[in-house]
């Protein structure tokens, strides 16, 4: 019986250590470096596996580095992720930023019952629910009208105060930002 207790205790300790190592590995975390500091986003592959996979692939390839926050609306959200036209160091086109995607295919919607709250990260898309590609937005405040209409991919777990400092856009121009802030770098992990 004592051997069984030791075996169980050993297995429990191993499972705990393995779980802690997995949680710290940051497989489902991205870190966005902004001018005012880092933003850590916990991704949700349990509700949006295809979207999370695409975000991680783009981040891992450096595609999000130097991409502008092209649309930022006070009290609503900050939108970024247009790797086609939003890279402020390679081919930035202000008039087209927000209309592009990436070389990867568009994704089918992965709607969930997770609400859009302050810090929620959702995928941007056109009128077609199955058109999300690389662009995403971070909520400044709750947006219940988005619930079930846009794919939630994660939530800011650290650095929301840095998101709050992103340069705001022009209200009269649907939040378009002149000389926008950018994601300096985006990496998978913490």
pLDDT in tens, 15-35: 444 443 334 447 999 999 999
Does residue 174 come out as left (phi exceeding 0), alpha (psi in the -120 to 50 range) or beta? left
> Global pTM?
0.86
The per-residue pLDDT for range 125-140, each reduced to its tens digit, is 999 999 999 999 999 9
SS3 125: coil
List the structure tokens of 160.
């929301």
List the structure tokens of 27.
């497989």
Q: Which residues of the chain have pLDDT under 70?
A: 1-25
């Amino acid at each position: 019986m004592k051997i069984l207790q030791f075996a169980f205790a050993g297995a429990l300790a191993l499972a705990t250590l393995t779980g802690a190592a997995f949680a710290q590995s940051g497989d489902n975390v991205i870190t966005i470096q902004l001018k005012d500091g880092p933003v850590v986003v916990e991704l949700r592959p349990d509700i949006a596996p295809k979207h999370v996979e695409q975000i991680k692939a783009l981040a891992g390839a450096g595609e999000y580095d130097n991409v502008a926050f092209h649309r930022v609306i006070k009290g609503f959200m900050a939108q970024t992720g247009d790797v086609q036209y939003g890279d402020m160091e390679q081919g930035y086109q202000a008039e087209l930023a927000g209309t592009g995607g990436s070389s990867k295919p568009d994704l089918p919607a992965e709607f969930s019952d997770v609400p859009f709250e302050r810090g929620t990260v959702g995928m941007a898309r056109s009128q077609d629910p199955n058109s999300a590609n690389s662009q995403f937005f971070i909520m400044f405040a709750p947006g219940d009208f988005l619930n079930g209409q846009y794919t939630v991919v994660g939530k800011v777990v650290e650095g929301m105060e840095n998101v709050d400092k992103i340069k705001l856009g022009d209200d009269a121009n649907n939040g378009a930002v002149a000389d926008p802030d950018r994601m300096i770098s985006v990496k998978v992990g913490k």
